[in-house]
Amino acid sequence: MKITFTPNAKTNLNLKIKTILAAIVITSSFCSVAEIISSKQVIKDITYLASDDLKGRASFSPEIDQAANYIAQRFKDIGLKPLKNKSFLQPFTVHKIQPQTQNVVLNHKKISREDIAIATTIENIDWQNSNAQVHIVGKDDDMRKTLSELNQQGGQHLVVIHNTHAKIFKAYQNYFTRGLTKLSLEHPGALVLVLSDEDKVENYAINASVTITQQSLTNVVGILPGRQSAKEIVLYSSHYDHLGITEDGKQIYNGADDDASGTTAVLNLAQYYAEKGNNKRTLMFSAFTAEEIGGFGSKYFSQQLNPDNVVAMINIEMIGKPSKFGAGTLWMTGMERSNLGTLLNDKLVVLNRKIYQDPYPEQGLFYRSDNATLARLGVPAHSFSSTQLDKDQHYHKVTDDISSLDLSSMHQVIETLATATQALVDGSATPTRIDKTQVRVKGKIY
């Protein structure tokens, strides 16, 4: 490369030299990524994680344990260390809540079971014209908003809902009937929904019960200790659970894109940085369980460390198919909440690549993956994806198998993430924190 400077350009000398050096460093870095992150290993990982043998990796299934063991073995082979020097497998328990009896009398009228929906973390409800706060959702009121606010508030509530909201009511009823899963029961509360045109509640009697049992789940976490700033953590994460099999047991939700693709990225980024061996900050690699049923893996994980020590969270979610911006490109959720996207794009500009802003803001994707849990604690936690949710015919379908993926595009995305996050790894970039007061609070009841 030949460069000629004129007298008028002397003031720009330092800037031009810095730009050239940055180009050399970034290009060199990108080449090394291509050599170390082999497509062969990427294909091997995702082929296993999305295989029929794992039967869709449903929470609480034997097959999800097989997936966890595979990830743990990969972490061990890579040379990572387990969290708190215990085990790569981090088991924990959750509470499964299954509805049993439901009896409601409103204004001296017995309500049909079809018009009752109950979400509760209280084992037995016995309300007799007291205990509960009473709310009326009229035909012109926003039912979803009301329930969301009461859920965030917690406590005990009787909600009488006008029949104009019958369709939405049925959706809530179906959801509550399947039962709830809670990491903790520290905030006991109940929502009793009654579909009725009554516009005033003069008296009520409610008797309901649920059974509460405990079941085990497992995260898989590996650590590459930092060489200088060991207390500062860069977290790479994904969820490795999916939906299991169909009710008739004849078909499998393989979850190749959702999220075997992200988990494959975490594994191969771990291998890449372990082989480089020069990370100044501690790198943590986590495969979360139970994202599909409420994000319980990330909730438990967030209690195992000080969130103030987490510099950034790179949550990788569905990168198996090209984005609307082209093959090998990706976008991130909540880009406006921190300057992480800007810092990552600074590393990609010379390669003429960029990470785009979430093109589907109406989907609320910032809250639909494990990053939201850490964001609520102030961590610059974002999800990185390439999925086209507005067009994807395979999302949460049995057709989300490896044949539906573009593995070349996926491999390129993983390389892009390795290059983009290098400044986080070497300690030269620190993103701004997320304002946790501006992150929607998680519900306390359901």
- For 44-74, how does the pLDDT look when each residue is reduced to its tens digit (9 = 90+)? 999 999 999 999 999 999 999 999 999 999 9
Tokens 């594994």 identify what position?
A: 267
Backbone angles phi, psi at 15, to 5 degrees: -65, -40
Residue 7 lies in a domain: no
201 and 227 in a single domain? The answer is no
130 and 261 in a single domain? The answer is no
Residue 310 lies in a domain: yes
243 and 143 in a single domain? The answer is no
- What's the whole-number average pLDDT of the chain? 92
pLDDT exceeding 70 applies to what percent of the chain?
92
Residue 444 lies in a domain: no
- Of 178, 194, 214, which residue constitutes the final position of a domain? 214
Instruction: Tell me if 316 sits within 8 A of 410, measured CB to CB.
Output: no
Query: Nearest CA to 294 among 360, 217, 368, 397?
Result: 368
Q: Can you give the CATH number for the domain in which 374 is found?
A: 3.40.630.10
Average pLDDT score over residue span 278-299: 97
Backbone angles phi, psi at 9, to 5 degrees: -100, 0
Q: Which two tokens stand for residue 227?
A: 């060489």
Interatomic CA distance for residues 438 and 442, integer angstroms: 12
Instruction: Tell me if 90 sits within 8 A of 100, measured CB to CB.
Output: no
pLDDT tens for residues 97-136?
999 999 999 999 999 999 999 999 999 999 999 889 999 9
- Of 157, 184, 214, which residue constitutes the final position of a domain? 214
User: Would you give the distance in Å from CA 377 to the centre of its chain?
Assistant: 14
Residue 307 lies in a domain: yes
Beta bridge partners of 102: 208
Identify the H or E element spanning 157. Answer: strand 156-161
107 and 61 in a single domain? The answer is no
Kindly indicate the confidence band of residue 21, based on its pLDDT and cuts at 50, 70 and 90: very low
Residue 11, pLDDT above cutoff 70: no
Residue 305, pLDDT above cutoff 90: yes
Least reliable range by pLDDT among 19-33, 123-137, 270-284, 415-429:
19-33
Query: Nearest CA to 183 among 24, 291, 297?
Result: 297
Instruction: Tell me the three state secondary structure of residue 263.
Output: helix
Instruction: Tell me if 382 sits within 8 A of 315, measured CB to CB.
Output: yes
Would you state the pLDDT for residue 130? Answer: 87
Residue 191 lies in a domain: yes
User: Would you give the distance in Å from CA 18 to the centre of its chain?
Assistant: 38
- Of 156, 185, 214, which residue constitutes the final position of a domain? 214
Residue 282, pLDDT above cutoff 60: yes
Residue 13 lies in a domain: no
Tell whether omega for the bond before 115 is within 30 degrees of 0, i.e. cis.
Answer: no
Instruction: Tell me the three state secondary structure of residue 145.
Output: helix
Average pLDDT score over residue span 396-420: 97
Kindly indicate the confidence band of residue 283, based on its pLDDT and cuts at 50, 70 and 90: very high
Backbone angles phi, psi at 296, to 5 degrees: -75, -25
pTM: 0.88
In the DSSP assignment, the letter for residue 294 is T
Based on the structure, what is the number of domains in the chain? 2
155 and 131 in a single domain? The answer is yes
Q: Which two tokens stand for residue 73?
A: 């073995």
Would you state the pLDDT for residue 187? Answer: 87
Residue 399, pLDDT above cutoff 80: yes
Interatomic CA distance for residues 63 and 117, integer angstroms: 33
139 and 234 in a single domain? The answer is no
Would you state the pLDDT for residue 36? Answer: 63
Residues in CB range of 390: below 8 A, 6 or more apart:
360, 363
pLDDT exceeding 90 applies to what percent of the chain?
89
CA distances from 252 to 53, 115, 123, 243, 389 (A): 10, 34, 34, 8, 21
Kindly indicate the confidence band of residue 19, based on its pLDDT and cuts at 50, 70 and 90: very low
139 and 84 in a single domain? The answer is no
- Please give the sequence-ordered ranges of beta strands (E in DSSP) within 1-48, or none if there are none: none
Backbone angles phi, psi at 395, to 5 degrees: -60, 120
Residue 3 lies in a domain: no
Query: Nearest CA to 203 among 105, 107, 116?
Result: 107
Identify the H or E element spanning 432. Answer: none
Beta bridge partners of 159: 135, 193
45 and 112 in a single domain? The answer is no
262 and 286 in a single domain? The answer is yes
Residue 407, pLDDT above cutoff 80: yes
Would you state the pLDDT for residue 295? Answer: 96
pLDDT tens for residues 330-383?
999 999 999 999 999 999 998 899 999 999 999 999 999 999 999 999 999 999
| Host domain of residue 243 | 33-91+217-438
197 and 333 in a single domain? The answer is no
pLDDT tens for residues 204-257?
999 999 999 999 999 999 999 999 999 999 999 999 999 999 999 999 999 999
Residue 330 lies in a domain: yes
67 and 106 in a single domain? The answer is no
328 and 431 in a single domain? The answer is yes
Burial class (CB in 10 A: 0-12, 13-18, 19+), 427: middle
